[in-house]
Structure 1
Amino acid sequence: NQIRTPKLSDIEVIALILTAEYLNIDSERELFRRLPKRLSECIERSVYHRRKKRLFFYIESLREQMAEQMTQGENHYIIDSMPLEVCKMSRSNRSTICREDIKTSPNHGYCASQQMHFYGYKLHAVCSSAGVFKHFDLTPASVHDIHYLNDLKHLMSDCELNGDKGYLSHDVQIDLFESCNIKLHVPMRKNQNNYKELPWIMRKTRKRIETLFSQLCDQFMIRRNYAKSFKGFATRVLAKLTALTTIQW
């Protein structure tokens, strides 16, 4: 929408975004300190920041196309979620981060696997057995994991999903199977009637997505937040997921 032609094209800006994530440069200020002079003269830091958020859907399209080609013929996927803190609990009542719209505002939630209360969002993700993220979404922290399955009905079909006990619901399993032929495998609780232990291979396969979440936390520092708006926060998360997918590609 600019009158003048920018010195860096959109694809060059996207390449700069992904390269920064690959090199573990998590701060835009640090990125522009390291950029060669010939690049830093082509785009200002504030312009880079605005263009990065405007290119959200193009980056997501790039990630989807790579993931689609790498998961062709795949019919077994793993689903899980992880907490993403916006700030510490002690600052949550006075924090204004990502509160520009009530529909996308963060809130308080609880992570059972880590036994922690947190303030922020949940990252819901589906990956293949080879470790490629197929779909993902961000929800406020209070949204239960099982609600993400309603969105998957419109995105996937004719496959098998492997989840943890957070997705345990007989009605949801039947609905997924009847509406889009998705078989949801969830470990049963030991006090349930007709208890059967989940096969060993399915319990082992679930570790694939946990390894990916660990990579996002340690290598890509996904839990470190510098964003002030939800659009900026979502773009940071997407850039890290796309960088990981690009490395796999």
Structure 2
Amino acid sequence: MHTTSPHRRPGHKLSRSQFNRRLHKLQDRLCELLALLSQWAKVENTQFAIDSCPLPVCKNIRISRCQLVQGEAFRGYSASKREYFYGYKVHLITAADGRIVEFDFTPGSWHDQIGFDLLNFELAANSVVYADKAYNHYMQEDLLAQAAGISFEPMRRINSRQGDNDYCTNWLRKQARRHVETDISQLVSHWPRRIHAVTAKGFLLKVVGFVMAHNILFYF
């Protein structure tokens, strides 16, 4: 007599290891779905903002015992929180309506300019991307404008010699990019106190899942 496997009973709760194995098997499908959601957001928006946020893999007191990542490259500093952390940085571009359209990861100590270079900026022509003062790079601004028709608008540093370095322009850019801070706060609110993973790849894959969940919530 045929009996149904206990792992296939309706309502059966997967164990942690079963869930992790299935998540890894679905990696390609998750990325395809995330790309589709991101594309919809790009089509429906013309204004975006770029920023980064810390993604610690453990508490500072546990750094010496951390197995996911090792090395000083992962020891970063969060200026907004005024504290050090150990892990990754998430570099992301969010649309004005709050959806995340592009993101990538770097070790926590890497500068935001490196994260900038990792992003594809696959946005429609005439899109505008706002940023804070960490992203002042005139060559990149010119390249985006000439190659993709994208206007990159970072807040200027005090010593910047650019012609648009005035109080009113910087204030408008600050207001225009403010939504990315809210978007990051909403994304981080989805994260549990501890993301369980035994490999760095598994850890980042779960973060990808949280990004996808963040975008899906906009359709409900």
Normalised by the size of structure 1, how large is the TM-score? 0.74
Q: How many residues align?
A: 211
Residues 1:76 and 1:222: Cα distance change in structure 2 (over 3 Å): farther
Residues 1:160 and 1:222: Cα distance change in structure 2 (over 3 Å): farther
Structure 1 residues 124-133 or 209-218, which shifts more?
209-218
CA distance in 2, matches of 1:237, 1:223: 13
Partner of 1:19 in structure 2? none
Partner of 2:12 in structure 1? 40
Cα contact 1:77–1:129 (8 A) shared by 2: yes
Residues 1:229 and 1:106: Cα distance change in structure 2 (over 3 Å): farther
Partner of 1:15 in structure 2? none
RMSD: 2.8
Unpaired runs of 5+ residues, structure 2, are 1-6
Partner of 1:97 in structure 2? 68
Per the alignment, in what secondary structure is the counterpart of residue 39 of structure 1? Answer: coil
Per the alignment, in what secondary structure is the counterpart of residue 64 of structure 2? Answer: coil
Q: Where do 1:77-92 residues align within 5 Å? A: 77-92=48-63
Unpaired runs of 5+ residues, structure 1, are 1-6, 9-36
CA distance in 2, matches of 1:230, 1:221: 16
Partner of 1:234 in structure 2? 204
Quote the sequence identity (%).
27
Structure 1 residues 174-183 or 127-136, which shifts more?
174-183
Partner of 2:118 in structure 1? 151
- For 2:11, the aligned partner's letter is L
CA shift for structure 1 position 175: 2.6
Residues 1:139 and 1:121: Cα distance change in structure 2 (over 3 Å): same
> Which one of 155, 168, 177 corresponds to residue 206 of structure 1?
177
Relative contact order (C-alpha < 8 Å, sep 6+): which is higher? 1
CA distance in 2, matches of 1:96, 1:45: 19
Cα contact 1:85–1:223 (8 A) shared by 2: no
CA distance in 2, matches of 1:191, 1:200: 16
Q: Where do 1:97-116 residues align within 5 Å? A: 97-98=68-69, 107-116=74-83
Task: Kindly provide the CA deviation profile for residues 149-193 of structure 1, in whole angstroms up to 9, marking residues without a partner as x.
Answer: 223346345222111111112222223223333221111122334
1:139 partnered with 2:106: yes
> Which one of 157, 161, 166 corresponds to residue 189 of structure 1?
157
